[in-house]
Structure 1
Amino acid sequence: MKTYVLKREQSIPISIDQAWDFFSSPLNLARITPNDMRFVVTSDYTETTKMYAGMIITYKISPLPGIKMNWMTEITHVNDKKYFVDEQRFGPYALWHHQHHLKEINGGVHMTDLLHYAIPYGAIGRLANTVFVKGKLEQIFDYRTRAIEDLFGKYKY
């Protein structure tokens, strides 16, 4: 099984407390996911729920028109105001390991997303990644960059 890596970095003009407050709330993920994914958190959490190691989060997504999927991730590691990791427990990937790192910088926070993922089905999965999955993930993370800028402004170096 081939493993792929997607890494994205972004600086945000907010405090580490504001960044952690936003990104550690499972419900805020829907705010930075493209609308065409029809992404809905189905876990029974509220706006004030904060993630913790062992937390299970369930979602419904629609990666393609007419295709609906259930997805479950577990927050496996949390280091307050530094990083957290989510791993797929049930869903479309053979492997999904997503690290979210936050680092305080002058005038804001530097955020790094590091995603390791694999597609099931051998050669068919590798072809699917080349034709569709890689581009779709890049599109989602590009959207997140813009959505975060819309919410918090553009970082001035």
Structure 2
Amino acid sequence: MSKVYSFSTVQTIPVSLDEAWAFFSNPANLKDITPANMGFNVISKYHGDKMYTGQIIEYTVSPLLGIPMYWMTEITHVQDKQYFIDEQRFGPYTLWHHQHHFKAVTGGVEMTDIVHYKVPFWILGDIANVVLVKAQLKKIFDYRFKAVEERFGH
């Protein structure tokens, strides 16, 4: 049986909680903080511009060799200006559970991401995680960190 992996990132953003929430809770903005080489595109027609519980968001993403893959997530929980959670319904992982937490702190907002994921194909998935997936996710979230700094400041 393959493992469930997890990681967490924390970033302080020098903006108000309202501004941070407005940006990160709009699905259209996700492309702006995702590496271009991922070929990330929101393809939902009815996802709206404001996050809500039960919202379905569809994407195409090209994580390997430029081959586009379909990914559907559902926003399963939203607590206004505190957190939201997206879970994969269809896509490249056996499990994808991504928590986005926001907290006002001195000088801005502390944003914490907590991700739990499972790679398919049992032991082959565990090997793929060690060889490729873990490093690729780190690159994506490192890129996101820098993109957020460029947009909002240090």
The alignment's TM-score, normalised by the length of structure 2, stands at: 0.97
1:42 counterpart residue number:
43
> Would the aligned equivalents of 1:30 and 1:40 in 2 still touch at CA under 8 Å?
yes
1:90 counterpart residue number:
90
The alignment's TM-score, normalised by the length of structure 1, stands at: 0.95
SS of alignment partner, residue 138 of structure 1:
helix
Q: Which runs of 5+ in 2 are unaligned?
A: none
SS of alignment partner, residue 68 of structure 2:
strand
1:18 counterpart residue number:
19
Listed one character per residue, the Cα deviations across residues 50-98 of structure 1 (whole Å, up to 9, x for unaligned) are 0100000000000022311000000000000000000000001000000
2:5 counterpart residue number:
4
Deviation at 1:45, TM superposition (A): 5.2
Q: Counterparts of 1:146 and 1:29 in 2: how far apart (Å)?
A: 14
Q: Counterparts of 2:28 and 2:64 in 1: how far apart (Å)?
A: 22
RMSD: 1.1
> Would the aligned equivalents of 2:60 and 2:70 in 1 still touch at CA under 8 Å?
yes
Q: Which runs of 5+ in 1 are unaligned?
A: none
> Would the aligned equivalents of 1:27 and 1:45 in 2 still touch at CA under 8 Å?
no
1:64 counterpart residue number:
64
2:77 counterpart residue number:
77
Q: Counterparts of 2:64 and 2:123 in 1: how far apart (Å)?
A: 21
SS of alignment partner, residue 14 of structure 1:
coil
Identical positions, percent: 58
Listed one character per residue, the Cα deviations across residues 4-38 of structure 1 (whole Å, up to 9, x for unaligned) are 00100000000000000000000000000000001
Q: Counterparts of 1:135 and 1:45 in 2: how far apart (Å)?
A: 33
Segments of 4+ moved more than 6 angstroms: none
2:125 counterpart residue number:
125
Change (3 A) 1:150 1:89: same
Aligned residues: 153
Q: Counterparts of 1:89 and 1:6 in 2: how far apart (Å)?
A: 20
> Would the aligned equivalents of 2:82 and 2:103 in 1 still touch at CA under 8 Å?
yes
